Amino acid sequence: MARVVVDVMPKPEILDPQGKAVLGALPRLGFSGVTDVRQGKRFELEIDGEITDAVLAEVEKMAETLLSNPVIENYAVRVEDSVAAEAAR
């Protein structure tokens, strides 16, 4: 089993009201120094078998078709190091 992570973020030019809400809440809680917040989504895909180029191409297709809307969002696909992933648990 291996994990592929897809990060989806609103495009820089697209307004991100949720990020703005978080940005507004931080100073109210006493946190300072944050000048901007963008909120996105992280998908963790558990993949059966080895991560090959073909598998990654397939994940790219998933990201483009369903996980993101290319009109308003960018995505990035990466394979998560399984050792690091286990340690993080």
Partner 1 sequence: MKIGVVTFPGSLDEVDAQRAVTLGGHEAVALWHGDHDLRGVDAVILPGGFSYGDYLRCGAISRFSPVMTEVIEAAGKGMPVLGICNGFQILCESHLLPGALIRNDHRKFVCRDQRLRIENTSTAWTTAYDEGAEITIVLKNGEGGFVADADTLDRLEGEGRVVARYLDVNPNGSLRDIAGITNERGNVVGLMPHPEHAVEDLTGAGTDGLGFFTSILESTFA
Q: Does 66 bind partner 1 (CB under 8 A)?
A: yes
DSSP class of 26: H
Q: Are strands 2-10 and 41-47 parallel, antiparallel or unpaired?
A: antiparallel
Q: Does 36 bind partner 1 (CB under 8 A)?
A: no
Residues in contact with partner 1, shown as a per-residue x/- string from 44 to 63 under the rule CB under 8 A: --------------------
Whole-number Cα distances in Å, 21 to 33, 39, 59: 16, 10, 31
Binding residues for partner 1, per CB under 8 A?
10, 13-15, 17-18, 20-21, 66-67, 69, 71-72
